[in-house]
Amino acid sequence: MTAQSVLEDGSPVSRADRALFAVERAMALVAGLTIMAVMLVSVGNILGRKLFNMPVPGFVDWMEQAVPLIAFLGITFCQRLGGHIRMDLVLSKLGGRAVWVFEFISVLLILFVSLVLMWGAWLHFDRSFAWGAPFWSRDSTIDIGLPIWPIKLVIPIMLGFLVLRCLIQLWAYGLAFASGADRPVAVPLIESAAEQAEREAETVSGLDDETNGAEAGR
């Protein structure tokens, strides 16, 4: 589902949505850059091992640190766009306020699970962090001794952002239910297969137009 499936206006809920989305996009960008870095380091490790018998020092340790960044930095971005698993086939059969009630309950369940996981992740971080320990860490990676607490801290922070996203969506779904709006702002709208295909075609067409324009300007 693309960003265009989330409508915007000048309402407070839409302004809150856009403010959080700016942060979510930045975090998703960091996740993407992390994936690129992992690919480059992996290639360097393979070439170094095969050609010079010199693998990247602490390669496994660095990969362990990268995985939580890849897995969690984009979680709220995906929730904003409706990219997580949803019952679109069921929702598309509903109409009126019943859709927003179903969506409200779904997001409420996500909020509850996120709060529980955030609390557990924070306790896991707290067991790893210690002010008086070297690098403030009670544990470290096996090979080169990287402190683990910074990566453990990423998880409750990202779950906290997910909680904020859920609160904004609950706000938006509540307004949609109260007003009976067909296309509310700040939440991912349900799209048919034809609408999704049309948006994908528009995206590809836009890229083609940019490419043709660049070639024409040379």
Tens digit of pLDDT for each residue in 95-149?
Answer: 778 888 988 999 999 999 999 999 999 999 999 999 988 889 999 998 999 999 9
Domain boundaries, the chain: 9-192
**Rounded to two decimals, what is the model's pTM?**
0.84
Q: What's the rounded Cα separation, in Å, for the pair 126 and 46?
A: 36
Cα 4–Cα 6–Cα 9 angle in degrees, nearest 5:
105
Token code pair at residue 175: 């307004």
Q: What is the mean pLDDT of residues 33-43?
A: 96
